[in-house]
């Protein structure tokens, strides 16, 4: 059984079909990239999978369970982590607190226990702080733990958002353009991070425009154009596919 | 250690205020205590309002309605049904909280300006009902003869008694406010306020936390309304006026929105200040307006921002 299965997913906006009957199947432990020209429906597909949009038709199954149209916070709770194209961190919280925010709902959610700071909640918090420091160190932000996230550089914020998505140890990680608008050194760092994630056996779905990154690290590439899946296969096969070349460069 | 010592001294001072006032301004002590009671009640109300405005970032204008619902519930139960204070107070809190629960669900389908307009509409309807449902609320004739609180053998009837009650109320609300706005709950509130999309990605249900702040804020406002009517003894529909929201917003934004100390400083400054300015009756509103302007221009983050910068320098 595939970890994530998308069946015949269609999403229209006022008559424009952004995603058109797309099927995607991802096995546990895979590292798959989703590519395509601007406006080909990659982010819309991401949003439908993670509950930010309800598809018009089609199904999304996670661990074989139908999660179509389920609210975003519930899908996240099931163990689907994601990052956003435009860096998304909580700017007024510290780097450490950003990470803690992403784990706490997975540990306990009792309002009363939190209000009175029950011993159990304190233990969870201590464990969360330890994990957050470990993750911050792993992305090289250990020294900035207490800095407000808004004071970090663009690339650092991307790394922070990446680390935050990993806090609850999600089964599936969706990364929306992690290497966009980031300097070359940072791109290499991001690449290593993603490969490291894959090395730990995590399942990763990546949307990325940077072809060096995509071709270097992906096991499998899915190509969208005008909302339709036009190709799928190994990076080499996709690179030579005439339909893909046409979609990117025209006829 | 230093903090605990300072806290103890400040608390002792606040408790001793009635005697200090009696010794320093013997002729004026009733008036001064009256202003201080209002300051304490305003402080508790402003804190409850800041839970919604400052911590989940929803500009609700419904707060006067919750204050009024608590006040009317307690006033009518005490006068018509002869309920003791110990029962009327929780009833006022519960009623305001329940109405906030019922109103919040549809209201939070609206966002930003529409939410402000929707809650404003609710506040206006609440005041119109209080004015026109004469059989029930006595409308403009007001609910009168609301008894002073009686807790067992303890009767709160004197000005110092009400002062200590108000002080206890603002202390309790402050504790609740601190508990809600720090640690894990505070983080969840602030995540929803700063970026709802990202909060969802962090498994936080934005509606749940907005509702939590809205309902607790409404319930506390109802409790303050209960204390207010038992102090004043009269309740008229004018107490639910929308202008109460404006006063509270001034306290929040000029004191320091989202900060316990800022909101309290704001409530002290903007309850006491209009009173102090009574000494210059002709220029009172002009000076008040000018001070507000200066603060908005020179300290856009409120008095709390000024305090922070001073303590850092």
What HEC string does B115-139 produce? HHHHHHHHHHHHHHHHHHCHHHHCH
The mean pLDDT value for A89-98 works out to: 94
B positions 205-244 inside 8 Å of A (CB): 205-206, 212
Buried b (16+ CB within 10 A) or exposed e, B265-296: bbbbbbbbeeeebeeeeeebeeeeeeeeeebe
**Closest Cα of chain A to B208: distance in Å?**
11
How many angstroms separate the CA of residue A224 from the nearest CA in chain B? 24
Prediction pTM value: 0.90
Which residues 159-188 of B are in CB contact (within 8 Å) with A? 179-180, 183-185, 187-188
Q: Which residue of A has its CA nearest to B185?
A: A114
ipTM score assigned to the predicted complex:
0.89
Return the sign of the alpha-carbon dihedral for residues B188, B194, B199, B201: negative
pLDDT in tens, A38-89: 888 899 999 999 999 999 999 999 998 999 989 999 999 999 999 998 868 9
* pLDDT classification of B239: cutoffs 50, 70, 90: confident
Q: Does A166 touch chain B (CB under 8 A)?
A: no
- Mean per-residue pLDDT over chain B, rounded: 89
State how far residue B134 is from chain A, nearest Cα, in angstroms: 40
| Dist CA B233 CA A184 (whole Å) | 72
CB contact under 8 A, B197 and A84: yes
pLDDT at A244 over 90: no
Cα angle: B206, vertex B212, B216; to 5 degrees: 155
The pLDDT, as a whole number, for residue A251 is 63
Contacting residues of A for B191, CB less than 8 Å apart: 90, 93, 101
Residues 186-205 of B with CB under 8 A from A: 187-188, 190-191, 194-195, 197-205
A129 touches chain B (CB under 8 A): no
At A99, the pLDDT band (50, 70, 90 cuts) reads very high
């Amino acid at each position: 059984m595939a970890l994530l299965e998308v069946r015949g997913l269609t999403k229209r906006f006022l008559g424009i079909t952004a995603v058109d009957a797309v099927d995607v199947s991802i096995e546990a432990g895979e590292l798959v990239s989703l590519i395509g020209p601007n406006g080909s429906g990659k982010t819309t597909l991401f949003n439908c999978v993670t509950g930010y949009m309800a598809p018009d038709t089609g199904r999304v199954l996670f661990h074989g369970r139908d999660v179509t149209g389920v609210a975003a916070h519930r899908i996240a709770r099931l163990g689907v982590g994601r990052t956003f194209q435009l860096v998304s961190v909580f700017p007024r919280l510290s780097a450490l607190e950003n990470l803690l925010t992403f784990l706490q709902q997975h540990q306990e959610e009792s309002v009363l226990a939190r209000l009175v700071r029950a011993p159990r909640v304190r233990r969870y918090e201590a464990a969360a702080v330890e994990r957050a420091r470990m993750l911050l160190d792993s992305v090289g932000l250990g020294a900035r733990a207490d800095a407000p996230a808004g004071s970090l550089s663009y690339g650092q914020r991307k790394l922070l958002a990446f680390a935050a998505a990993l806090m609850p140890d999600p089964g599936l990680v969706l990364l929306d353009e992690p290497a966009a608008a980031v300097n070359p050194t940072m791109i290499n760092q991001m690449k290593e991070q993603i490969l490291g994630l894959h090395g730990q056996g995590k399942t990763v779905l990546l949307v990325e425009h940077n072809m060096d990154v995509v071709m270097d690290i992906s096991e499998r590439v899915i190509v969208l154009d005008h909302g339709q899946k036009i190709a799928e296969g190994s990076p080499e096969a996709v690179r030579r596919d005439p339909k893909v070349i046409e979609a990117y460069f025209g006829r | 250690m230093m903090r605990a010592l300072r806290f103890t001294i400040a608390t002792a001072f606040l408790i001793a205020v009635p005697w200090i006032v009696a010794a320093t301004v013997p002729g004026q002590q009733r008036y001064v205590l009256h202003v201080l009671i209002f300051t304490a009640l305003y402080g508790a109300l402003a804190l409850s309002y800041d839970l919604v405005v400052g911590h989940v970032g929803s500009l609700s204008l419904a707060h006067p309605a919750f204050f009024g619902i608590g006040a009317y519930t307690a006033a009518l139960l005490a006068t018509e049904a002869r309920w003791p204070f110990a029962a009327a107070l929780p009833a006022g809190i519960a009623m305001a909280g329940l109405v906030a629960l019922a109103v919040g669900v549809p209201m939070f389908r609206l966002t930003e300006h529409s939410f402000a307009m929707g809650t404003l509409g609710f506040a206006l309807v609440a005041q119109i009902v209080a004015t026109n449902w004469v059989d029930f609320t006595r409308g403009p004739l007001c609910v009168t003869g609301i008894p002073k609180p009686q807790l067992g053998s303890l009767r709160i009837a004197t000005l110092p008694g009400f002062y200590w009650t108000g002080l206890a109320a603002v202390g309790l609300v402050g504790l609740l406010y601190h508990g809600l706005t720090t640690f894990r709950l505070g983080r969840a509130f602030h995540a929803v306020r700063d970026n709802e999309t990202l909060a969802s990605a962090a498994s936080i249900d934005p509606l749940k936390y907005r509702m939590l702040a809205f309902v607790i804020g409404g319930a506390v406002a109802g409790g303050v309304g209960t204390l207010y009517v038992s102090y004043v003894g009269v309740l008229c529909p004018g107490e639910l006026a929308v202008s109460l929201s404006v006063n509270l917003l001034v306290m929040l934004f000029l004191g320091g929105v989202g900060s316990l100390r800022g909101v309290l400083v704001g409530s002290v400054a903007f309850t006491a200040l209009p009173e102090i300015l009574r000494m210059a009756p002709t220029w009172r509103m002009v000076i008040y307006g000018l001070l507000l302007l200066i603060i908005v221009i020179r300290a856009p983050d409120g008095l709390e921002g000024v305090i922070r910068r001073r303590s850092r320098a």
